[in-house]
């Protein structure tokens, strides 16, 4: 029996590390052609080479998701190379936690540009193809922080609450086109996400907490695999998951 991943074309942003990288590996190993987007070209080229050498289909496209034209190019290259786009996975994101009173305007803008606008650009680039195909699956990434507020996380939470809102709106709107939508809301996953917190005290405190409980990014990838491998008439819309040890 086909698991509904074999033969699909999946575009993955944030594929250079953490959840996106683990998802690329899982989908490639299960027979999808994966198109990898991130800014760190050497990382995604190395991953694409590794997957290709292992007999899988992969292509790397340097992409800054804050730039609409680059996201469009990512999807265009996927369609030119593999003929279609079956899954758009908007995984790129960042979480530079800080209290609002620190006025880290650049970080506010980065989070809005990458987490929210980058996700929208991914939707916008893939949607016309999926409408024409009358099939597709769009994955967006929220967070436990898309369900509740946490310390020093006002802007991050605003972007992740926003991702849930636009994912639900998308779900309602794309019914006529046979497109599925899944929003994933992870708890603590062991990735590079915390490395970019510029406030040293907050970074170290968060790393201390997260390192005790975090689950590996392969857990995230399995959630993607589950949602995608369901039959086409099953639309897994939301997945909220945490480490079993995560109390909040
Ligand atoms: P990582 O920091 O390991 O990965 C983040 C990815 O996003 C990298 O591949 C990075 O690539 C990419 N990225 C960041 N900025 C841009 C940009 N401007 N353009 C393109 N790509 C960009 O963290 P995670 O894997 O944990 O993060 C994946 C998603 O999961 C994020 O949306 C995050 O908010 C979410 N999440 C993570 C949780 C966790 O505990 N880890 C919990 C809840 C949600 P590059 O730098 O090469 O561009």
CATH at 65: 3.40.50.720
What the block records as the tokens of 181 is: 């939508």
Is pLDDT at 1 greater than 60 in this prediction?
Answer: no
What's the mean pLDDT in 26-38? 98
226 Cα–ligand 1 center, Å: 21
**Ligand 1 site: residues with CB under 6 angstroms?**
13-20, 38-40, 43, 63-66, 91-95, 114, 141, 143, 186, 188-189, 191-193, 217
Has this prediction a pTM greater than 0.95? Answer: yes
Ligand 1 atom index nearest CA of 184: 44
* Domain membership flag for residue 99: yes
Alpha helices in the chain (DSSP H): 18-29, 41-53, 68-82, 105-111, 118-133, 154-173, 200-213, 217-229
Which residue has its alpha carbon closest to ligand 1 atom 33? Answer: 93
Q: Cα–Cα–Cα angle for 128, 86, 190, nearest 5°?
A: 115
* Domain membership flag for residue 54: yes
* Domain membership flag for residue 202: no
**Helix (H), strand (E) at residue 90:** strand 87-90
* Domain membership flag for residue 194: no
* Domain membership flag for residue 68: yes
* Domain membership flag for residue 48: yes
pLDDT in tens, 75-109: 999 999 999 999 999 999 999 999 999 999 999 99
Ligand 1 atom index nearest CA of 94: 34
pLDDT in tens, 38-56: 999 999 999 999 999 999 9
**Position of tokens 């998701």?**
65
Give me the active site residues, please. 156
* Domain membership flag for residue 30: yes
Enclosing domain of residue 233: 9-187+215-239
Ligand 1 atom index nearest CA of 217: 25
Number of folded domains that form the chain = 1
pLDDT reported for residue 3: 87
What's the mean pLDDT in 199-217? 97
* Domain membership flag for residue 107: yes
């Amino acid at each position: 029996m086909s698991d509904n991943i074999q033969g699909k074309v999946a575009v993955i942003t944030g594929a250079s590390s953490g959840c996106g990288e683990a998802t690329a590996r899982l989908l490639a190993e299960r027979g999808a052609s994966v198109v990898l987007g991130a800014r760190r070209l050497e990382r995604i080229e190395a991953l694409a080479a590794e997957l290709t050498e292992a007999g899988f289909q992969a292509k790397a496209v340097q992409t800054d998701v804050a730039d609409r034209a680059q996201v469009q190019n990512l999807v265009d290259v996927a369609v030119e190379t593999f003929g279609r786009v079956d899954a758009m996975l908007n995984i790129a994101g960042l979480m530079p936690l800080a209290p609002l009173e620190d006025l880290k305007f650049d970080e506010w803008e980065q989070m809005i540009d990458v987490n929210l606008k980058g996700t929208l650009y991914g939707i916008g680039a893939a949607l016309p193809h999926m409408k024409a195909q009358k099939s597709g699956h769009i994955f967006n990434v929220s967070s436990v922080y898309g369900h509740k507020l946490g310390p020093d996380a006002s802007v991050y939470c605003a972007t992740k609450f926003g991702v849930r809102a636009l994912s639900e709106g998308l779900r309602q709107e794309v019914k006529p086109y046979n497109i599925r939508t899944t929003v994933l809301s992870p708890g603590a996953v062991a990735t590079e996400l915390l490395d970019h917190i510029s406030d040293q005290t907050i970074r170290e405190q968060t790393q201390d907490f997260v390192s005790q409980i975090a689950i590996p990014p392969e857990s995230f990838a399995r959630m993607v695999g589950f949602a995608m491998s369901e039959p086409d008439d099953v639309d897994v819309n939301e997945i909220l998951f945490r480490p079993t040890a995560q109390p909040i």
